[in-house]
A and B are shown apart, each in its own frame.
Chain A
Amino acid sequence: MDLQPHEINLIDGYVRGELNASDRKTFNTLLDENPIFRKEYEEKHLLQQSMRLTGNTESKTFLQNREAKFAQEKETKIHHIKERQGSPILKWVSLAASLLIIAGAVSLFMNPSSNSDYTQIYADNFSAYPNDYAHVLRGESKQNDITAIFSDYSNADYKNVVDKINARLESTGNADNKLVFYKAISLMGLEEHTEAAKVFNSLKKSGFNEYENQIAWYSALNYLALQKPEKAKEDLLRILSSETGFRKNSAKELLNTLEK
């Protein structure tokens, strides 16, 4: 005999840690008295445990990649400092830069919607779109080029993603717009915003409706990174007038922020 929907909800509530005292009591009674209920609970508990192992590995990879970026940024800073120290003429450039910074600070005070604001808004809102193109299993990253692309994507190895997508698009000759979308996100990850804007514009022209809001949302953020708020607003308005729900609330909020 199958479980009733409320019994399934009870199990889901328990494994998600959401039951109140009374529901917990009902849960425990059913667990003792109903073997089908117990079996269902045990399966869901094991499902969680299985997912936790995979989830831990994913989190670790994610944090390691983040750490690698820290190291890279530090390396770049040290490189710049060494370069500056090596060239006396750059002392004058430094002085000029300092004056520019002061001028920038004054302009920031006069105009709150400054470049640094847009950069900050971009940084606050940008996170790579999740992979819903292909499921990548651990250890099979070399199995085919799609799994290889998304294995790199999940590791935030965007340079490889862009190269591999370009190679695939060239070899198949197919206009795989969904894949092109991930290329644009990866270009954003590489901070190649001008190039990303070109890709987003081509996607908009292609009539690729499935990711209409996703394209508009990321294109808007990309325009903010390019310090083009008016263009970003156009994209956000497109989201608000669309039928699909992706990022509608976020678009509204962001538009309000930009209008201030």
Chain B
Amino acid sequence: MDFQELKTAFTTNHQKSLGEFYDSQRSNFLSWARSRFDADVDTLLDVYQDAIIVLYNRVIEGRVDDIASSPNAYLFGIARNLLLKRTIQMKRTTSTENILEFIPDKGETDLYDNFEKEHKKVIISEGLNKLDASCRKILELFYFRRYKLDAIREHLNYENTDVVKSRKYQCMKKLKSFIEESKVK
């Protein structure tokens, strides 16, 4: 499977494809990692999961388009960096948020350090939490998971893509109103 096929799978049914990809490389990864790193299986699996998540984010965000290697090789590369970093720091990852600290992308570090933007993100998160589940889901699938409108229609059982578009628009409007309310408070 190449990156394009992986992206299509991730943006059509992310849970199924993520699970399948995880299973497909798991034993290869363990054999590879056991022969190179002095770490217990739990640690290796923890890192493997983090590496899968990093790969997932990069694939759906289109940040692997110039990568010549296969997704499997790229995954092992990410895992290797995470393991080296972990070996150096000698500490366990306690949160998936730490994944971003391990391999920060150019330009992203500034964003994460910026207090004001962090504050805005909190307001947005609060706004998202106020939305009903279906609204939140449609925004998540469109903006974060990069599902195509047709995949969203299929996934959430909408009549057609026009309904999806209109619903997305309404949900975004609602979210904005929640964000504005928070700013006034």
Contacts and interface: CB of A to CB of B under 8 A. Distances in A.
Interface stretch (B31-39, B66-74, B78-86, B152-160): B152-160
A256 B155 CA distance: 22
B29 interface: no
Contact of B53 (A17, A43, A56, A134): A56
B75 interface: no
Contact of A16 (B53, B143, B158, B176): B143
Contacts of A247: 154
Interface string B87-101: 000000001110100
Contact of A59 (B26, B96, B121, B133): B96
Contacts of B131: 135
Given A56-B53, A56-B96, A46 B145 contact: no
* Interface majority SS (helix, strand, loop, mixed), chain A: helix
Given A56-B57, A62-B15, A63-B22, A48 B144 contact: yes
B4 to A, nearest CB: 13
Interface stretch (A108-116, A124-132, A182-190, A201-209): A124-132
Contacts of B56: 59
* Interface majority SS (helix, strand, loop, mixed), chain B: helix
Interface string B161-182: 0000000000000011001000
B157 A245 contact: yes
A55 B145 contact: yes
B59 to A, nearest CB: 11
Interface residues of B, number: 53
B179 A130 contact: no
B8 interface: no
B19 A17 contact: no
A52 interface: yes
A63 B16 contact: no
A130 B22 contact: no
A193 B139 CA distance: 34
A46 B143 contact: no
Nearest to B160: A245
Contacts of B129: 135, 137
B133 A132 contact: yes
A239 to B, nearest CB: 12
Interface string A1-41: 00000000000100111000000000000000000000000
A160 B78 CA distance: 36
Given A46-B120, A46-B124, A53 B16 contact: no
A221 B50 CA distance: 32
A46 B121 contact: yes
Interface string B123-150: 0110011011110110110111110000
Contacts of B133: 131-135
A76 interface: no
B143 A67 contact: no
Contacts of A55: 140, 144-145
Interface in B13-49: 13, 15-16, 18-19, 22-23, 26, 45, 49
B121 A50 contact: yes
Interface of A: 12, 15-17, 43-44, 46-57, 59-60, 62-64, 66-67, 70, 127-128, 130-135, 137, 213-214, 244-247, 249
Top 9 closest A-B pairs, CB basis? A135-B133, A17-B62, A51-B144, A56-B96, A246-B157, A63-B49, A60-B96, A127-B16, A50-B124
10 contacts: A16-B142, A51-B140, A56-B53, A56-B96, A59-B52, A60-B50, A60-B96, A63-B53, A127-B16, A132-B134
